[in-house]
Amino acid sequence: GITHAFVEEFKSVEDRDYYVNNDPAHSKFKETLGQVFEKAQVIGFTDRTFT
């Protein structure tokens, strides 16, 4: 099952897409924590709309 969950809010879809696909800090975060968490779920939303 899921061992951890993260809720993230973004100002825009473009901000979310940058964070998910291009942000070097996020890439490092995923790489580092991927070694710690067995299975994580991320819940993201923009303007009160969950994605």
Contact 41, 2 (CB under 8 A): yes
Q: Shortest CA distance to 9 belongs to which of 19, 22, 21?
A: 19
Q: Is the confidence at residue 10, as pLDDT, over 80?
A: yes
Structural domains of the chain, count: 1
Q: Is the confidence at residue 22, as pLDDT, over 80?
A: yes
Q: What is the mean pLDDT of residues 21-32?
A: 91
Supply the pLDDT for residue 51. Answer: 60
Q: Which residue is associated with the tokens 């819940």?
A: 43
The single-letter code of the amino acid at 3 is T
φ and ψ of 15, to 5 deg:
-60, -45
pLDDT digit string (tens) for 27-48? 998 888 877 887 888 887 777 6
Tell me which residue range forms the domain holding 36. 4-50
Confidence band for 50, pLDDT divided at 50, 70 and 90:
low
Contact 13, 47 (CB under 8 A): no
